[in-house]
Amino acid sequence: MAMKKTISHQTKNVSDDRTMRREDETTQPKLSASSTIENVEEARRVFPFVRQNLRTVYGLPQLEKNLDPLDVLIETILSQSTSNINSQRAFAAFKQRFPNWEDARRARPATIEAAIRSGGLARQKSLVIKRLLHDIKAQRGSLDLSFLRHASLAEAKAFLSSFTGVGPKTVACVLLFACHRPVFPIDTHIFRIARRLRWLPEKGSDADAHQLMEQIIPQEHFYEAHINFIRHGRTVCRPQNPLCEQCCLVDYCHYYQNQF
Ligand code: SF4
């Protein structure tokens, strides 16, 4: 099944508020030593206002049903270090060339590389995808990842994290978008905004950042927050010359308060 929209723009079907599985509270991570309890508590306090302001501007995105976990995994790998348009184009071309992932698993890396060339870094990504498909088949006996919807969250994370080229963001995208599990993916836009809001420290690992954001944002709002932060980062809170005068988060932004 080809995804019709980018993983960051899945905007149809049932609300994530109702479909996302709640997990055992004991799975919540401990605070990172690189951030203070006060920062997290303040971020938790203002999150409802931030969410509402973003929703007013960008709307309420809704999780798409029935996405295939392997589709999302491969699309997320293709999205690394390239634009949305390029990765969408590469994924569509890949699916057209290989409607069946088993055929892609058997293909030569050069054939995969040719199919995803429009996405950039095709050589490296073809090798990652080829190895990924091989390793999944070797571990599971098939390329069906639907078990991730029902495995424990720790097992699902450990399984995906075990593959070369699959980092915390990719793990979170697969589990949130395709499995409706409570995991918060952080992309470059979310990192930037969260640091400007001072929800995340300037330095720290990706894994720590994912854990901190999952402490700040209630899990029923993971999808909405992920999508709307990205929309905000693309249009207003840009890397250079952010449009602070137009920003709906200005009242909560330390970057802005330090600038003006
Ligand atoms: S006020 Fe400026 S820096 Fe802060 S979130 Fe808004 S656009 Fe970004």
247 Cβ below 6 A of ligand 1: yes
Burial of 204 (0-12, 13-18, 19+ CB in 10 A): middle
Question: Is residue 17 pLDDT above 70, yes or no?
Answer: no
Q: Residue 140: CB partners within 8 Å, gap ≥ 6?
A: 147
Q: How far is the C-alpha of 32 from the C-alpha of 35, rounded, in Å?
A: 6
More confident residue, 33 or 259: 259
194 Cβ below 6 A of ligand 1: no
The ranges assigned to domains in the chain are: 31-62+183-259, 69-178
18, two tokens: 């109702």
DSSP characters for 73-119?
HHHHHHTTTS-HHHHHHHHHHHHHH-SSHHHHHHS-HHHHHHHTGGG
What's the CATH code, domain 31-62+183-259? 1.10.1670.10
* pLDDT per position as a tens digit, 117-163: 988 889 999 999 999 999 999 999 999 999 999 999 999 999 999 99
156 Cβ below 6 A of ligand 1: no
Q: How far is the C-alpha of 36 from the C-alpha of 31, rounded, in Å?
A: 8
Provide the 10 A C-beta neighbour count for residue 75.
28
Question: Is residue 8 pLDDT above 70, yes or no?
Answer: no
244 Cβ below 6 A of ligand 1: yes
119 Cβ below 6 A of ligand 1: no
Q: Which atom of ligand 1 is nearest to the CA of 192?
A: 8
Q: Ligand 1 centroid vs 73 CA: distance in angstroms? A: 31
- Mean pLDDT of the region 229-242: 96
Q: Ligand 1 centroid vs 41 CA: distance in angstroms? A: 20
| pLDDT of amino acid 39 | 85
Question: Is residue 242 pLDDT above 80, yes or no?
Answer: yes
Nearest protein Cα to ligand 1, atom 8: 237
Question: Is residue 31 pLDDT above 50, yes or no?
Answer: no
Q: Read off the pLDDT band of 36 (50, 70, 90).
A: low
* pLDDT per position as a tens digit, 206-235: 888 999 999 999 999 999 999 999 999 999
Nearest protein Cα to ligand 1, atom 4: 253
Catalytic residues: 169
Pocket probe for ligand 1: among 255, 259, 260, the residue whose CB has the most ligand atoms within 8 Å is 255
Q: Read off the pLDDT band of 78 (50, 70, 90).
A: very high
Q: Ligand 1 centroid vs 233 CA: distance in angstroms? A: 9
Q: What's the topology of domain 69-178?
A: Endonuclease III; domain 1 (1.10.340)
172 Cβ below 6 A of ligand 1: no
46 Cβ below 6 A of ligand 1: no
Q: How far is the C-alpha of 1 from the C-alpha of 42, rounded, in Å?
A: 42
Instruction: Give me the chain's average pLDDT, please.
Output: 86
Question: Is residue 51 pLDDT above 80, yes or no?
Answer: yes
Question: Is residue 29 pLDDT above 60, yes or no?
Answer: no
More confident residue, 232 or 258: 232
Q: Ligand 1 centroid vs 35 CA: distance in angstroms? A: 21
* Cβ(141)–Cβ(179) below 8 Å: no
